[in-house]
Structure 1
């Protein structure tokens, strides 16, 4: 593609050299430069891409897109200066791949909790309705039946547009993707054309990155600020910040609620271990998912499907048969009828939601035993809060490791300990080894007790010092239940 075509809609400050040249590839990684590449120098929090411009040129880059022009410009190389290289990369990537998002019904889902469940249900629902679909989520990316491993909640803009182009080539008409707050701030979604956006809820998370809760809210809101006029912006108005999200959007504003008037109104009739009973659009429907939080997820999915033109009755029929995504309130039952629940809950609000649901489902004197940890190199402010919530709702609590990354697991657990109320200290154990913590929970449990193993959900690894070691909470529960 000609460089000048690649720069369509890119905000330019200066150009040195010819834009009438063919570009064979785009990259922001100097190690992936090949002859004829456009190298994009992005200032990062750890490394500044501008430092690698000489290496990129040495490897054959014929054009450089940067925020600061080098002092010495090399002959035969075109230099393009822009105010925001990450944003420019989004538009360039979209141009390079033929604007794939414009050929799809692309729906983004943002919020603290419920993103993965919502996009996964939308993906499964629209496939059941007869559409060819793509999925971009924390758990995995998927093109119809083909599963593609996921490394980020939202991929970088180059990977994202390449993936969307694959989906177009495979005949997909609809794509459902999680939009993380990081992705908005880092301009990973720049240049994409969304058919709609959904807001689930917002609670404290990622303050290690955003620093303040206000900045986190602003990041989420930034997604809706970018939606085009022809798109829909569907928000949960039972969340106090639902309406804030769409204050400045030009998209069509739509709402969903279980508590007040809204475009899509639902009512929770019953919640049991066997699923949810809800009334939506005057129809009573049974769903296989469990918990009040999933009632919101289902209602948001229903609303989005209707806004995308699907027939409401058929949407409810197909939704009623869908299973929850992996690691989201996933049950593992022992031969002695101990109920194990594996859930990705890794924020205070998500943990509270899951434990409240388990408490409401409890029919007698069953114990709730919670195994929970907090990840390393992440928001440390939520650590004592997570321990406090576990102690408020569970009869026994085991604090353990959860992806310590480059932190000392004992230091993380020390932070969590600060949240243990004095009156519950006697029912709390601290076992840094997650394998041993799960086994201890099983030893403490009796028939019909509930063991919640929270924090990792679908993940099949434990990350320690940069190494991802195989670890699956579901496997660990099954092995412990079988006595191995």
Structure 2
């Protein structure tokens, strides 16, 4: 247990009502989870305002409350702390409660629109192969060395982050690789963390339902690099015009990587096929099982990061050649009939374009490329017609289907996607709302040597409809249908 005074270290406080010497058993921002001697943090969320539940938190055992507005009714014996931003305060308090765990390992954050999961996950793999104890905080899963936990958000809340970092400390973890989302930065989930480095992959159209403008989305990402300390490194993709912007105000050591222009770390694609990539990295050749131009960037980012963290170049290249692709990222299976099915998380226009261009650069054009794609509900609507345009422009045939409609009507989402299809591509398209039926139809349409791309959900093993999650795994489903064709 920590005293309230210790937990409030570095928190910007406007007012305190009561004493700060109370012993705190746990911090919570959900009033239902507050227990005896707990600290409740009232957060104004997108769905509910924690300030409405202060009384419930006190009834459940809270001895202290952190809030942005003091309640009208103050309970005697309870300490109330008024702050400007509860989320920012929570981040510092979480770090203090768990003894600043990010300072006891080398924490590297990965941000950008696409590639975050791949870069973080492959760095975890590489450092494990190098013999280190490693942590991972990603969209797919959370790893405390060899112990796996289920992930619920790209960047968890600050309490969860510090809890897992504390577990990593206890397990002797030396390096941790973490996805840093724009939501996470904007909501101060990474505030108070001690980063040894930051990686910028790229920036394209996404999350404009939340950030409203592309400039705001970009500037939130930049804020992460602005906050890096002097001893850290800031590694950015120089082929993305936003890479240099990320470096403008950072105090960290500035490093760049690129395929197309001068950079501190350079690579060249020598071979690109379904079996993998042959790359020339800093005058050395390396073969990797990962596929496509976008993965060439990911590999280069991994190489540069490992070198910046002190690994030997020859050793890094050896481990890169042994890396396995991440679940739901260009994950493919080939049937006995030589039909190739690829499952990829591509859920933004740029990611879909990258995957389709990669497939088209490898295929002979004598076969069909059948794309199955949808868009998530309750998310950025402006990207839907762009997804429809890209899918039909770069595929032979396209089946539009449901993704995670959430609270929206799938038919409305599909109309938004269809709006982006140009007249000359109408004949390529088919709309099947039921995702399972859409995948089945793609398998039935496919001839030997054809390629099926199932985009949008990748590693997800569920479909979210009207507040419920149903079991749904694109990769398992396409494997089943391809087997049925063999009978």
TM-score bracket relative to the smaller structure: over 0.9
Give the secondary structure class of the aligned counterpart of 1:108: strand
Segment of structure 1 superposing worse, 357-366 or 90-99:
357-366
> What is the CA–CA distance in structure 1 between the aligned matches of 2:168 and 2:156, rounded to whole Å?
15
1:3-402 alignment, distance < 5 Å: 3-402=4-403
Q: For the residues of structure 1 that align with 2:424 and 2:365, how far apart are their CA atoms? A: 23
**Which residue does 1:440 correspond to in 2?**
441
Q: Provide the rounded CA distance (Å) in 2 between the counterparts of 1:473 and 1:333.
A: 15
CA distance in 1, matches of 2:195, 2:436: 43
1:3-50 C-alpha deviation (Å, 9 max, x unpaired): 111011111111111111111110000001111111101112221111
How many angstroms apart in 1 are the aligned matches of 2:437 and 2:93? 49
1:127-161 Cα shifts (integer Å, max 9, x gaps): 00110001111111112222100100010001110
Match of 1:470 in 2: 471
Deviations 1:266-296 (A, max 9, x none): 1111211111111111101111100000000
Cα deviation for residue 482 of structure 1 reads 1.5
Secondary structure of the residue that 1:172 maps to in structure 2? coil
CA distance in 1, matches of 2:42, 2:213: 28
How much does 1:387 deviate? 0.7
Structure 2 portions without partners, runs of 5+: none
The count of aligned residue pairs is 484
Secondary structure in 2 matching 1:62: strand
Deviation at 1:213, TM superposition (A): 0.8
Secondary structure in 1 matching 2:329: coil
How far has the Cα of 1:477 moved from its partner? 0.7
**What SS does the corresponding residue of 2:51 show, helix, strand or coil?**
helix
What is the DSSP-based 3-state SS (H/G/I as helix, E as strand, rest coil) of the residue aligned with 2:23? coil
Q: Distance in 1 between matches of 2:438 and 2:238?
A: 39
CA deviation vs aligned residue, 1:289-321 (integer Å, no higher than 9, x gap): 000000000000111111111111100110111
What SS does structure 2 have at the residue aligned with 1:303? Answer: helix
Question: RMSD between aligned alpha carbons?
Answer: 0.9
The SS at the match of 1:233 is strand
Q: Take 1:333 and 1:434, find their aligned partners in 2: how far apart are those partners?
A: 21
Q: In the aligned structure 1, how far is the partner of 2:334 from the partner of 2:270?
A: 26
Deviations 1:211-235 (A, max 9, x none): 1111111111111111111111000
Q: Deviations over 1:389-428 (max 9, x none)?
A: 0111100000000010110000000101101110010110
CA distance in 1, matches of 2:470, 2:45: 28
Show structure 1 runs of 5+ residues with no match: none
Q: Secondary structure at the match of 2:76?
A: coil
Q: Deviations over 1:243-263 (max 9, x none)?
A: 101211111111101111111
How far off is 1:364 after superposition? 4.3
Which position in structure 1 is the counterpart of 2:404?
A: 403
Map of 2:413 onto structure 1: 412
1:76-128: per-residue Cα shift (whole Å, max 9, x none)? 01111111110010000000001100001100000000000000100000000
Q: Any idea what SS the aligned residue of 1:175 has?
A: strand
Task: Compare 229-238 and 40-49 and name the one that shifted more.
Answer: 40-49
* Larger mean Cα displacement after TM superposition, 199-208 or 46-55: 46-55
4+ residue stretches of structure 1 with deviation over 3 A?
Answer: none
3-state SS of paired residue (1:306): helix
Distance 2:72 2:365 in 1: 74
